[in-house]
Amino acid sequence: MDTSLIRKDFDAAVAAGMVRAGERRMQFGVDDCALWVADIQNQVLGYDPAAQVRGRYKTRLGALRVTGAAGLPGQLRNIARRHGWTRINPTLAQPGDTGLAWTTTTVRGKQAPVLATVICRAPGWFVGRNEGGVTALRADNVAMAWSVLDDAKSNDVGTHVNIARIPLRPDMCPTSGARQEPISIGFAILSFVGVTGASTLVAGFVGGVALAALSIGVSMVASLLRPSQGAGVSSDYSIARADSIQTVQVTERQSIPIKRLIVGSAYVGGALCAEKVTPPYLTVGVMFNHGEIDGVEKLYIGTNQVSFNAITPDTLLTPLAVDGQPDYSTKLRVSFRYGEMDQAADPLWLARYPGDGANFRQAGIATAFYEFHYGGTDNSAATQVAFTALWGQVSRPNCYVVARGVKMYDPRDPTQSRTDETTWKWTNNATLVQTWYLTRSFGGRISMDKIRWDKTIESADYDDTLIGCNDGTMIKRHTIDGVITLNQQPFQVMQDLLAANRASLLDSGGTKWIQSSQPRAPVVTIHDRCIASGIKYQSARQKSDLINKLQLRFVSPDQEYQLVDGPVREDTDRQAADGEILPATLALKYTQDHRRAQRLAKLFMLSSRLGRTIQVSTDLMPLVDAAEAGEDLIGSVVNFDSQLFPQFNGIYLVTAVGFADDATTLSLALTEYSAALESEWNPEVDEQPFEPLAA
């Protein structure tokens, strides 16, 4: 048969094999690198090159055992002799020819070089199977090659590889890739919120090309959506537990209390700083925010909201009498201070205990002081009934405030100065809260001068846009309201904050910024002409990463600001396609409106299905094109448009950028992106009713 016709058959067979590789995870003994290539060749040649080993192993160790001491090179030499294949220079390979290329694997926790079987896709290009798809690499990065037909143009075998002298270190591998200097989302999070000792980018050596890999923090969906707990799963595996929310809502007694910071608005108790009893009065002081706040909006005793003419700081306040409520007007006095560094001692405490002096002032801490008149001194039934009516079924009264928290810089307000915190104002804009946390000494420790404020403005404006609700009202798209405690890991706090607007933390050239989920159009096209060497493509996701049923949790103002279960979102079409229910939980610790939370839940669920990723080495043109469009490449959206590898094509978000040592090539990490997600919300159809539990 004409070998040119067979080559055309190989062209179609390799393309079909690449599609199949994207539909399932790789499995040893079924479609690993060697068997995947052999399956394609069997389809065209009519014989199975891997017949001698097929069915004899199911694991990586089993494969090593079957291939023996000579390994894959020995097996390929035997196959070549058996079927008359010709050793050729890899650059002369035609579709269907076999090659061996260097990659790495993990051995005892360390990366070690190994050879993998690849097949020629087109002159100059080979492809091989990886865990969730395929990897493409240029022929000059292939170590050995054999022509499977007799149309070989040369028997030039190129540089001989001494298999007996394979070094153990990946960077000493004969075809190791250039070192990378990563600029990535993951790098920004790990390096600038206090996480040390973690690898920010894992270099994947494929055919001598070091490809920047996705790292923790790049895809927030991966870390925010977790499978529901089951047998054998640690309780720490849950994305959020209610106690992280509830512990800030009680009055606690600690020798060294944990510092709390209210961002946006929050419902809090506090840490006890003073307590004295002078019958029939109990007077207590509570510290509820570290630093200055904007103000107190409400006071609750149990589920009763206590009413005032106005809540004014540094003032003795007496509640109003309200029909149907206990007589707080004669049984309670209150005072608030908002946490200025020069604040005076609390007026309520000084009025009751003037001997304590003016230095008892909790400088720089927002406080609430309460004086409770708890009735008679006996233990009569009438006294107990009166006490319970006033303060509830408790041993001592417990009060909660709803407060507007710390003030933050808004670059959109010309009356505010970045260097003068006294000009800052209260906000619950998600981007501004996240940026504020990044610049705090207890958070990201990033200098204000290192923030890209133009990008911050763009993101903050998007968070402030309005979205419609089923009842016809409009609410802000993204807000943050809650409490940060300083015993939390900054990285975990940042993850929870980023959930509120599906945002990313970006870093480029030493500057950082928050990028909210605003839709973005492609600014660069990556095509075959700019691809420098390798491409690693993955589309098959592990089943453990797939979700078709999502339990939402959010903070409900109607249920004493507890983290509560919201409506469950189910995708019955996905469940049918997946063949089972794949549940997960999304906890939005800083979202206090169920309508906003429901919208976020749907978008997280949809984005979790955007599983395709690409790691590719290119020339510098994408960087140049992005600059000409006035954009940074990191965080931009690109159009991947390849004629050689059309199944890779699509729209992707650039999540990592690396430079080779000679600054002539880039390594890009791309993850599938859809700008249409942000419009995938119809409140009349998607918004589910939510009824708070009865008190």
Which of 361, 382, 407 delimits the end of a domain? 407
Question: 598 in a domain, yes or no?
Answer: no
State how far the Cα of 163 lies from the Cα of 166, in Å rounded to an integer: 6
Say whether pLDDT at 652 is over 90: yes
Average pLDDT over residues 29-51: 93
Say whether pLDDT at 203 is over 70: no
Q: Are residues 22 and 103 in the same domain?
A: yes
Instruction: Report the pLDDT value the prediction gives residue 47, as an integer from 0 to 100.
Output: 94
Q: Are residues 294 and 393 in the same domain?
A: yes
Q: Are residues 630 and 650 in the same domain?
A: yes
Average pLDDT over residues 530-545: 82
Question: 670 in a domain, yes or no?
Answer: yes
Say whether pLDDT at 268 is over 80: yes
In this predicted structure, which of 106-110, 532-536, 640-644, 665-669 has the lowest mean pLDDT?
106-110
State how far the Cα of 361 lies from the Cα of 369, in Å rounded to an integer: 12
Q: Are residues 204 and 292 in the same domain?
A: no
Instruction: Report the pLDDT value the prediction gives residue 291, as an integer from 0 to 100.
Output: 94
Q: Are residues 165 and 197 in the same domain?
A: no
Tell me which residue range forms the domain holding 370.
265-407
Question: 489 in a domain, yes or no?
Answer: no
Average pLDDT over residues 125-132: 91
Question: 575 in a domain, yes or no?
Answer: no
Percent of the chain with pLDDT over 70: 82
Q: Are residues 276 and 370 in the same domain?
A: yes
Percent of the chain with pLDDT over 90: 55
pLDDT digits (tens, 9 = 90+) for 604-630: 989 888 889 999 999 999 999 999 999
Instruction: Report the pLDDT value the prediction gives residue 107, as an integer from 0 to 100.
Output: 67
* Count of domains observed in the chain: 3
* Cβ–Cβ < 8 Å for 538, 650: no
Which of 355, 372, 407 delimits the end of a domain? 407
Q: Are residues 194 and 158 in the same domain?
A: no
Q: DSSP of 188-243, one letter per residue?
A: HHHHHTT--S--S--EEEETTEEEEPP-TTS-HHHHH-EEPP-TT--GGGSS--TH
Identity at 665, one-letter amino acid code? T
Q: pLDDT category, 284, cuts 50, 70, 90?
A: very high
Q: pLDDT category, 658, cuts 50, 70, 90?
A: confident
The length of the chain in residues reads 695
Q: pLDDT category, 166, cuts 50, 70, 90?
A: very low
State how far the Cα of 291 lies from the Cα of 262, in Å rounded to an integer: 9
Q: How far is CA 124 from the centre of its chain?
A: 37
* Cβ–Cβ < 8 Å for 616, 581: no
Q: Rounded to 5, what percent of the chain is helix, strand, coil?
A: 30, 30, 40
Question: 578 in a domain, yes or no?
Answer: no
Say whether pLDDT at 566 is over 90: yes
Identity at 338, one-letter amino acid code? Y
pLDDT digits (tens, 9 = 90+) for 372-392: 987 655 556 666 777 888 887
Q: pLDDT category, 692, cuts 50, 70, 90?
A: confident
Sequence-ordered strand ranges (E) for 504-610: 504-508, 511-515, 522-527, 531-538, 549-556, 562-570, 583-588
Which of 392, 407, 422 delimits the end of a domain? 407
In this predicted structure, which of 210-224, 304-318, 658-672 has the lowest mean pLDDT?
210-224
Q: Are residues 100 and 211 in the same domain?
A: no
User: Number of H helices and number of E strands within the chain?
Assistant: 17, 35
The half-sphere exposure of 243 on its side-chain side, counting CA atoms within 13 A, is: 4
In this predicted structure, which of 97-101, 174-178, 552-556, 659-663 has the lowest mean pLDDT?
174-178
State how far the Cα of 331 lies from the Cα of 657, in Å rounded to an integer: 64
Q: pLDDT category, 191, cuts 50, 70, 90?
A: very low
Average pLDDT over residues 423-435: 98
Say whether pLDDT at 590 is over 80: yes
**Most confident stretch, 161-175, 192-206, 224-238, 661-675:** 661-675
Identity at 426, one-letter amino acid code? W
Q: Are residues 523 and 393 in the same domain?
A: no
pLDDT digits (tens, 9 = 90+) for 204-263: 333 333 333 322 223 233 333 333 333 332 333 233 333 444 444 545 555 567 889 999
Question: 382 in a domain, yes or no?
Answer: yes
* Cβ–Cβ < 8 Å for 248, 485: yes
Say whether pLDDT at 2 is over 70: yes
Q: Are residues 196 and 116 in the same domain?
A: no
Instruction: Report the pLDDT value the prediction gives residue 163, as an integer from 0 to 100.
Output: 42
Tell me the average pLDDT of the chain.
82
pTM: 0.82
Instruction: Report the pLDDT value the prediction gives residue 180, as an integer from 0 to 100.
Output: 30
Average pLDDT over residues 65-82: 84
Instruction: Report the pLDDT value the prediction gives residue 478, as an integer from 0 to 100.
Output: 97
Question: 558 in a domain, yes or no?
Answer: no
Q: pLDDT category, 661, cuts 50, 70, 90?
A: low
Q: Are residues 168 and 135 in the same domain?
A: yes
Say whether pLDDT at 65 is over 70: yes
Instruction: Report the pLDDT value the prediction gives residue 190, as an integer from 0 to 100.
Output: 27
Instruction: Report the pLDDT value the prediction gives residue 396, as an integer from 0 to 100.
Output: 79
Question: 520 in a domain, yes or no?
Answer: yes
Q: Are residues 188 and 145 in the same domain?
A: no
pLDDT digits (tens, 9 = 90+) for 430-461: 999 999 999 999 998 999 999 999 999 999 99
